[in-house]
Amino acid sequence: MDTLVTLDSTRQQLTARYKQVRQFTEKLCEPLQTEDYQIQSIIQTSPPKWHLAHVSWLFEAFVLPKFKPGYQVYDPQFDFLFNSYYYTHGQMYPRSQRGMLARPTVNEVYRYREYVDEQMYQLIENIDEAQWQDLAFYVILGLNHEEQHQELMLMDIKHNFSINPLKPAYRNDLVDEKVTTSPQLQWIGRAGGIYQIGSHQNDFFYDNETPAHDVLLEDHRLADRLITNEEYLHFMEDGGYRNPALWLSDGWALIQREGWTHPLYWSANDDGWNEYTLGGMRTLNPHQPVCHLSFYEADAYARWAGKRLPLESELECMLAELPVSGNFCDSDLLHPAPAKHGGQWYGDLWAWTQSPYTAYPGFKPLAGSIGEYNGKFMSNQMVLKGGSCATPPGHTRASYRNFFYPEERWAFTGLRLADDM
């Protein structure tokens, strides 16, 4: 999954990359039974069947009609069923009711994918040279979009399964790392000054990573690894969820309303704490990073520890100096792993920052409907960095800006501390 395709790629390279991404999406669905494709546990999740169709719809909505005159859509009604949020393109079926779509069937959705794939292969092979660069951009955008949905599918499957009292495993063959130690947390300092963030590379990047620009950083330091389950338990045992002084106002109201007393997917019995994973229920490993935290929980822990969450710019500057390697989806753990000596920066869990998701100075969204992809969400969300154990390899980078609402915690999110010097 780590083959890099640039706008200068050949038709053969682009076709191979397209096939690789599309096949990996379907591989992620192989453990599912037919009934599993239809579940939508909360409004934030979508049924796997909807994901499979939606990522095909994007090629059919924005690529094939643009570059293939006279293109015949597979089914005109799919444009309404599988549009996600592109209002400038057309209307869409309500997000909260995607789990009600018993039809089209799973088999029909796979036939839809096959139809779109065949049309895309023909298009890539036959497009004239004058349109090649334009087409390559749209195809690569569509493939990166599908990789995002690969992670979303794993997030959604986990939550969909978690509400079942049987606590079924998505996969019974996932390795549970029995690590019994974790390295002591170390601090990495950086002197204040003018630094540059944002993307200025020649390879693919999203519009929200642009333009590259200067930022002023104060002297600060970052923890070299994520906070562990054991460390978070200390916060809980010290009354962290009962102390309003640690919480932002909205966060305190949220945990009172929802009755939160521990991270998502944790449960306790006479023997201690357990955690629901994509491999089923497991005894909580104290040395693994604590995951599925909301921004409010991460922020409250940082206050309790006498520290803070990092700024987006602080974390990006650190990530830019490091190789993009870690526990990603291809590690096949599908769960955060304990830190190793030398730090824990990419993979495992997306790290919350204290930075709101807003536009960079001079930001301009892409033209047309695809300009809705990122820009219109720049309100009321927080930035996360680094990638996770469910992120496809090659899909993250230092400048990558993930974003979620502060109350959301079904994503593979974790906690890294920062401090002033």
β-strand partners of 351: 385, 414
pLDDT score, position 5: 55
Instruction: For residues 153 and 202, state if they share a domain.
Output: no
Instruction: For residues 134 and 194, state if they share a domain.
Output: no
- CATH number of the structural domain spanning residue 82: 1.20.120
**Block mean pLDDT (10 aa), the chain, length 421:** 56 95 98 97 97 98 95 97 92 96 97 98 95 94 97 98 97 88 94 95 85 97 98 98 98 98 96 97 96 98 98 98 96 96 95 97 84 80 98 95 97 98 92
pLDDT score, position 367: 80
pLDDT score, position 372: 66
Q: Which amino acid makes up residue 146?
A: E
Helices 106-126, 48-62: axis angle to 10 degrees equals: 30
Closest CA to 141 of 207, 84, 51: 207
Question: How far from chain centre, in Å, is Cα 225?
Answer: 19
pLDDT score, position 306: 98
pTM of the full structure:
0.95
Neighbours of 221 (CB within 10 A): 18
Instruction: For residues 158 and 191, state if they share a domain.
Output: no
Cα separations (Å) of 342 from 32, 213, 223? 37, 30, 11
Contacts of 254 (CB under 8 A, 6+ apart): 260, 294, 296, 407
Specify if 111 maps to a domain.
yes
Instruction: For residues 266 and 129, state if they share a domain.
Output: no
pLDDT score, position 8: 62
Instruction: For residues 152 and 38, state if they share a domain.
Output: yes
Overall residue count recorded for the chain in this entry: 421
The domain of 89 spans 11-162
Neighbours of 124 (CB within 10 A): 20
pLDDT score, position 90: 93
pLDDT score, position 6: 60
- CATH number of the structural domain spanning residue 344: 3.90.1580.10
Strands 346-347 and 213-217: unpaired
Closest CA to 312 of 380, 417, 381, 385: 385
Specify if 112 maps to a domain.
yes
Please count the structural domains in the chain.
Answer: 2
pLDDT score, position 7: 57
How far apart, in whole angstroms, are the C-alpha atoms of residue 334 and residue 380? Answer: 29
For residues 6-34, one letter each, b for 16 or more C-beta atoms within 10 angstroms of the residue's C-beta and e for the rest, the string is ebebeeeebbebbeebbebbeebbeebee
pLDDT score, position 217: 98
